[in-house]
Chain A
């Protein structure tokens, strides 16, 4: 099912007198093609969960429209939208067994019991928990609870599957495993899936389409790799990537991009103050390089190594450059680097928009 979000806005009234009302989502427009896995990504308070809840119908938008295929569902109650929702804390009914939990939506839809049981078993098989059907949620691990929650969301064969921070309550190892699992289930079922996360790595690794949000406003939409390679603005560049991008204060003058006194590259743009973003993997060690950095220490990771250095032009305390483990480094306090052009981004210092 295709999802169209038009001018979606949600404002919450002020909590206390004198406070301003809060705009959680501001004029959002997205088209989600059918059968895709979409990640809403952003720091907390960016409106991603509110968006998800508006898609589910639990929150009603202040203005704007939500269309499933061609049908306007903006005013439709949650249970009539044909959605499945997986909550951050799973929200399993603690007094029901796993099977009863999964069957619950079907029971409310007045589906005959034998059929409901059958479908619950199918859903349980899909998430591989068929041997846990008679347990209570309290007897399950976090990962198992997560699967039950997904099964409960899938059992009614929703047109849209919504997941709110699906991995945040899992430990690191389970997170990796579950994220593959979600991808697999999504592929197998072909259900249009929207999930919310604040973890860019998580989003990058499984999304077909990623929506980066900040303060209720969509910053960029696209395939993860495309966004990573071509960020629209400083925020997006900064938010994606581990280790994060290095950002320097710099200038464009006389057709050159300068960090301090060093000209790192040529440019056609006008003279202006800029931020220069350089991905950690964009450094090439070279004794005749264009950028010199004061080395603080070197971290050896096996496959590659990080040169952690200090620059007074960096907006962050340290600059991190990742280079191949084979590269022999000089034992010197200052190292020089050449830069990979496609890993360097320029942003206007005031608007923080990309200079292309």
Chain B
């Protein structure tokens, strides 16, 4: 017998996104059949009545009140859910943005609290980021700029100023770094080791660092540069400084560079610097062709290959019978990615296999999505058209819901390819979210996934893999492996 419970909070105003997030979290609790958080207007009470979750307390609510309405399979589940609702409402930051009570309001105050700090992480609206970065440089701090929407002229000026001061500017739009074993922004818990990473791409660094970690290796430092550092205007200032830093770092044995293909002149600049290094390099310029590499460097076409070359051995491929998977029905592959670089890597694997592929962020040789003609499609859900005004899919996995539901319903789609990216900054249960969407649909094309993370992440990888496996998803050891399995499954 289902149990309905309502709690009414008088004159309570919460941000809409917090209300939605708490509502979804409650709905996902064990034994909860339906949950809603709405203000107590007459119209909303009708909705709750229609959903069979309006109780006597909720019926008395006023328009300025907040109604928490739950229906659960039994009293114990209802009480547990109500307790969780109270906890989340008392501390709405638990469900989303962190509390800022202890944060310093100014760069000066932050520096005074931590006078030994040598790095500032800046995450403010883009048009304020450069000003804050300049303040940090003035305090002698290296800077990681997480913010995007910083004009490239500002980036150029900041990086030149930093270079003159002997400081490094990572970013703007730098999503991932691991400095001295400390994960910054979106990063995973990986052991320290002798491989140094330099990446213009956040998820590229995450995938390589996690593949290295799961194969028993470790990372000395992972330095993000921002997506535009290798453009001609910026001239690889951060990349070259990062190479200098890792060259001088005794703990770093091998250096991996990860980026989209740079401008030709910039590539020459970077490779000239690589040639002067005493250390071996792996160059992973995803989609680049005809790279003339110095003797101490090798080219990796994929992130997986980069990890293998850096370690000097092959990564785990997973059970061999997975290569025998076959798609039933549809013959098209639909890739739905939270990680932009993982989307690019999947396209490259398809192009290497001689298959046409289209994307909203096409790599060289792939078609633009507007030119796609019912072929294989790889969608970067972190691209601007999906994330304007809402969180990145690594934070809010529901960004993928609609495209995933569409792909599940499309009879032409035989294989769905997804990534799940774990680590600090990410959603607390991205695999569980995907599994819930899949479980609510009858049609099941072959669904292949990669899980970028480690068992020591805030969302342990082994548990996340299990959530996907229980939903019938085949989990590959790497994103490249998942793309390769997709090709085999459609007989490509």
Q: Note whether A and B form a binding pair.
A: no
